A = this chain, B = another copy of it.
Amino acid sequence: MNEELIKMLLAFREERNWGQFHNPKDLAISLSLEASELLENFQWRSSEDAVLHKKQEIADELADVLIYAVYLADALDLKIEDVIRDKMRRNAAKYPVDKAFGKMTKYTEL
């Protein structure tokens, strides 16, 4: 996420004085709740049906997940791109192409 967008999200929060509520534990709860609200759009539906009829709702919940991820990263003084690059470095070692090619089972251990 580019710096300007992250700054905008943090400014939105500061303008409303909401930072006071953003302890990491409650942010982790909120991140989990928003991911569940995203999943709710697929409840009792096929993947195709959900994408066809609920794409805007899914996009909105995906936005909420990402917004809380930004706030949690800020609360922990983490840079989003650094945590992703760090994890991907270890994933690359854990799932070498020759061994992991087309293997769902190892993937599920991600």
Contact = CB atoms under 8 A, between A and B. Distances in A.
Interface of A: 1-2, 5, 8-9, 12, 15-18, 20-21, 23-26, 28-47, 50-51, 55, 58-60, 62-67, 69, 72-73, 76, 78, 80-81, 83-88, 91-92, 95, 97, 100-104, 107-108, 110
A63 to B, nearest CB: 3
A38 B32 contact: yes
Contacts of A16: 95, 97, 100-103, 107
Counting every copy of the chain, the complex holds 4
A39 B39 CA distance: 12
Contacts of A69: 62, 65-66, 69
